[in-house]
Amino acid sequence: MSSRHLVDPELHPFIEQWSEIKPTRETLPRMRLELARGLEKGAPPTLPRDVEVSERWVPGPPGAPEVRVLVYRPKRKSPGAWPALLHMHPGGYIIGSPEMNDVSNRRLASRVGCVIVSVDYRLAPETPFPGPVEDCYAALRWLHANAAQLGVDASRLAIGGESAGGGLAAALGLMLRDRGDVPVIFQVLIYPMIDDRTAAGVDPAPHVGAFFWTRASNRFGWKCLLGQKPGGADVSPYAAPARAHSLAGLPPTLMCVGALDLFMEETVEYARRLLAEGVPTELHVYPRAVHAFNLVEQTQVAQSFLRDYEQALRRALYPSGAPPDTGRTAKKSAAKKATRRPSPRKRSR
């Protein structure tokens, strides 16, 4: 039975355009191009003018090529070093690039007041696990080691991403906890792809996963990443974070997912386990929302998500409550003073 009637009406044009992605090894090269172009269609958005973007190539994992990153930095002055977010883009581990999130990363850097480093990690099946997560780990180590040169506060680093990017962020969180060499204070897991067993015949609720990223797409993505059928006994938690025996010691976490997303159950379960292990966790489940619903920015549900995301990230990166828009506030205050009418002087008697 179709679950279209359960979807938010504002998202109907989205699910009609992207009813299902059907990747195969033969169609994957073309899909990579078409998806990147399709997500950029529409009227050119109004971009923040107070964010500068630069491309860097940073040392990769041992024996691997350099990793390309895009660095988003607010132009306005900060009272100190900026906090930073290492961002991993979505794409089922098989498609995508940092450019897919260019608009959202510019806005996030401007509105929250932070540097964002978005990682162009290698994709599967050309580079299966552990290549993608090791690329992200190498990028984070570079960010931490070069924090001073980047104007970044090394004590206020966060990691995050969407879908496969959320899965990589979760895996990176486990890796950092276990290796203990780079501290992070927050992780953002947006409808994360974290459990290969969802693709191995363990069917979630029948009304989820009907649109955009489906069960078939999920099986293909996991098979490409793992180099084998998903659901086996020897899958590393650094590939599928839901496989971790313990989630204790992970940083405070934000998790967001649509109620009709294929990843809804694994997201909610991961949040439950985090809370049970004493990890401060904020979970949002958006009713009537499908996978990647936030791409339709003008919808009410996407606006709710964006507000929740920005507020949670701002609280984490500015724990003292310092305003992230100090530069803009000062300018507005100065402009207001300049246009304020002088008060009439009292006449001397």
Low-confidence ranges of the chain (pLDDT < 50): 42-43, 326-349
d(CA 104, CA 265): 26
Number of domains in the chain: 1
Q: Which domain holds residue 220?
A: 4-39+46-330
How big is the chain, counted in residues? Answer: 349
Q: What is the pLDDT of residue 39?
A: 56
Q: What is the pLDDT of residue 348?
A: 37
Q: What is the pLDDT of residue 74?
A: 97
Q: What is the pLDDT of residue 20?
A: 72
Residues facing 282 on adjacent strands: 254
CB 115 within 8 A of CB 73: yes
Q: What is the pLDDT of residue 331?
A: 45
Is residue 339 a part of any domain in this protein?
no
Please, what sign has the CA dihedral across residues 114, 117, 123, 128?
negative
Is residue 278 a part of any domain in this protein?
yes
Which CATH number goes with the domain that contains 91?
3.40.50.1820
Is residue 342 a part of any domain in this protein?
no
Q: What is the pLDDT of residue 204?
A: 64
CB 283 within 8 A of CB 300: no
Please, what sign has the CA dihedral across residues 195, 198, 202, 207?
positive
Is residue 344 a part of any domain in this protein?
no
- Rounded to whole angstroms, what are the CA distances from 235 to 9, 73, 129, 244? 39, 37, 10, 10
Q: What is the pLDDT of residue 321?
A: 86
Structure tokens, 214:
């489906």
Is residue 345 a part of any domain in this protein?
no
Q: What is the pLDDT of residue 101?
A: 93
Residue found by looking up tokens 């009537």 in the block:
288
Is residue 244 a part of any domain in this protein?
yes
Q: What is the pLDDT of residue 5?
A: 94
d(CA 297, CA 299): 6
d(CA 326, CA 113): 9
Question: What torsion do the CA atoms of 173, 111, 70, 125 make, to the nearest 10 degrees?
Answer: 50
Is residue 340 a part of any domain in this protein?
no
Q: What is the pLDDT of residue 340?
A: 43
Task: Provide the 3-class DSSP secondary structure of residue 46.
Answer: coil
Tens digit of each residue's pLDDT (9 = 90 or more) over 16-38:
987 777 899 999 999 888 866 76
Is residue 336 a part of any domain in this protein?
no
Strands 67-74 and 253-258, bridge-based pairing: unpaired
Q: What is the pLDDT of residue 1?
A: 53
